[in-house]
Amino acid sequence: MKVIQHFERMKIAFHGAAREVTGSCILLTVHDTDNAQHRLLIDCGMFQGERFADERNAEPFVFDVETIDAVFVTHPHADHTGRLPSLLHQGYRGPITMTHPCLSLTRLVLEDAYHIMEENARRSQEPLLYQKEDVESVVNHCTSVNYHESITVAPGVTVMFHDAGHVLGSAFISVEAEGKRIVFSGDIGNDDVPILADTESISTADIVVCESTYGDRVHEGKGERSERLKEYLVGTIREKGVLMIPSFSIERTQELLYELNQILLHELKTDVPIFLDSPMAIKATEVYRHFKEYLQFDESILSDPDRDFFSFPNLRETLTVDESKTINDIPAPKIIIAGSGMMSGGRIMHHLLRYLGDRNSMVLIIGYQGHGTLGRKLYEGANEVFIYGQRISVRAQIKAIGAFSAHGDMNKLTRWLHPEDGKIPQKIFLVHGDLEAKEIFAAHLREELHTEIVIPEVYSVHEV
Ligand SMILES: [Zn+2]
């Protein structure tokens, strides 16, 4: 048997999402069986809504882009994909690999991010970070794969995608090299997501880089989520108010449509109109329809396998601005699902401007709200907010359902890190979360798993 002497050890470097929630970008340096070095980049995400986010997105990468051999993407969210065009703009020419649905959604995410950047640049006279062609070039460089296909990077270095149950086509990625198995969580989905398969077992892992967005809390259960959604729907309909649901275009919207379909049609039997007022969410829903075989619906309601759970008679998709404006003419009660999810822009702002002062209306928060966003202010109980320079007194009710979160909570992540049939990883790096959440989760894991837990600093390099 050939004994391989590695002169240098494997290294993991964190170039984002360390001690913060966004900008996922991890550089793994490994050696093949001939001792040649390979540099793999796992995700290449944008910094969003955090301090100096714009400045950091504009900075050149700290590593030499041309020395990267391959890029692997866990899932389409912009905080995991948003800097791919910059990577190409700065000279990367190697392969980018992700799952088939992830590629379709990534195209939407990058096109959307480009439009937002273009608009901001026009307003601020700032130069663009990359060109439209760079977005095209990302899509052209992408190779899409299925879960469980073994990808050989070099002799003795293989990569595999596994279902993370976070959004359609999302993955955690395992890398086998130098006799070790390293797992990168990407984002790990919640338990009992109605339309996705459960997160796959991590099986065994020596090293894990794990997200910890909700590592410090425990979500409500699935039953409670439906009950509370039903309660808010009934309340808004009774009060003849407007239920505004700021939604993330990918996954949350489709889960919500699925649940609304169930509750409104089959339980409440009402024809209150629902508006899907987000071009991005409308296009993403189209991708969900296309990749139906990747979805999993509740067995108990699968009597009609051809049923489209994302379309129902009282749902109206308002793609254009003119269509969107017609929502104002429809009398309440009505339900509006619109972006952006953190209320930091998009069509939801117009609806908030109109209805936030109405005590019969409600804002239902169903996702993570970043520091400094309007969503966070409302979530924390602000009585007064400013929208487009206008002062608005908040009279509408503000409610939140955490179980719609696309992220696993403390219990889910702990179980995932140490499945019943697996071993405890030697070392776990916690990324992708507020520092406070990570510290709470780290203390919990040390107690539960008795293993080494590291909260890496941004740009730190770790030998493993
Ligand atoms: Zn995500």
Per-residue pLDDT tens for 143-167?
999 999 999 999 999 999 999 999 9
Per residue in 224-276, pLDDT (tens digit) is 888 999 999 999 999 999 999 998 899 989 999 988 988 887 888 888 999 99
The alpha carbon of 446 and the centre of ligand 1 are apart by a number of angstroms equal to 25
Q: How far apart are CA 158 and CA 175, in angstroms?
A: 6
Same domain, 189 and 288: no
Q: Say if 1 falls within a structural domain.
A: no
Same domain, 18 and 31: yes
H or E stretch at 374: helix 374-379
Residue 104: is the preceding peptide bond cis (ω within 30°)? no
Per residue in 210-222, pLDDT (tens digit) is 999 888 888 877 7
Same domain, 280 and 374: yes
List the CATH number of the domain containing 330.
3.40.50.10890
Q: How far apart are CA 268 and CA 364, in angstroms?
A: 19
Q: Say if 435 falls within a structural domain.
A: yes
Same domain, 239 and 265: yes
List the CATH number of the domain containing 72.
3.60.15.10
Last residue of a domain, one of 404, 421, 449: 404
Q: Which residue has the higher pLDDT, 3 or 89?
A: 89
Same domain, 121 and 254: no
Return the pLDDT at 302: 53
The alpha carbon of 251 and the centre of ligand 1 are apart by a number of angstroms equal to 10
Q: Please identify which residue in the block is written with the tokens 């699925």.
A: 258
Domain count, the chain: 2
Which range scores top for mean pLDDT: 49-53, 187-191, 305-309, 361-365? 361-365
Contacts for 264 with CB less than 8 Å, ≥ 6 apart: 233, 270, 272, 274, 312, 314
Same domain, 282 and 335: yes
The alpha carbon of 9 and the centre of ligand 1 are apart by a number of angstroms equal to 30
Domain of residue 25: give its range.
11-217+406-463
The alpha carbon of 48 and the centre of ligand 1 are apart by a number of angstroms equal to 12
pTM above 0.85, yes or no: yes
Q: How far apart are CA 103 and CA 101, in angstroms?
A: 5
Over 80: is that where the pLDDT of 300 sits?
A: no
DSSP tag of 323: H
The alpha carbon of 278 and the centre of ligand 1 are apart by a number of angstroms equal to 19
Q: Say if 21 falls within a structural domain.
A: yes
Beta strand pairing call for 180-184 and 151-154: unpaired
Please give all residues whose CB falls under 5 A of ion ligand 1, grouped by chain where several chains appear.
Answer: 77, 187
Same domain, 238 and 162: no
Last residue of a domain, one of 388, 404, 420: 404
Same domain, 71 and 149: yes
Same domain, 388 and 321: yes
Last residue of a domain, one of 356, 378, 404: 404
Over 60: is that where the pLDDT of 2 sits?
A: no
Same domain, 34 and 109: yes
Return the pLDDT at 299: 65
Residue 335: phi and psi, rounded to 5, are -120, 130
Q: Say if 445 falls within a structural domain.
A: yes
The alpha carbon of 82 and the centre of ligand 1 are apart by a number of angstroms equal to 12
Residue among 307, 296, 327 at smallest CA distance from 266: 307
Return the pLDDT at 21: 76
What's the Rg (C-alpha) of the chain?
22
Over 90: is that where the pLDDT of 1 sits?
A: no
In residues, how long is the chain? 464
Same domain, 287 and 415: no
Let me know the angle formed at the C-alpha of 413 by 225 and 206, rounded to the nearest 5 degrees: 160
The alpha carbon of 368 and the centre of ligand 1 are apart by a number of angstroms equal to 11
Return the pLDDT at 420: 85
Per residue in 331-357, pLDDT (tens digit) is 999 999 998 889 988 899 999 999 999
Return the pLDDT at 421: 80
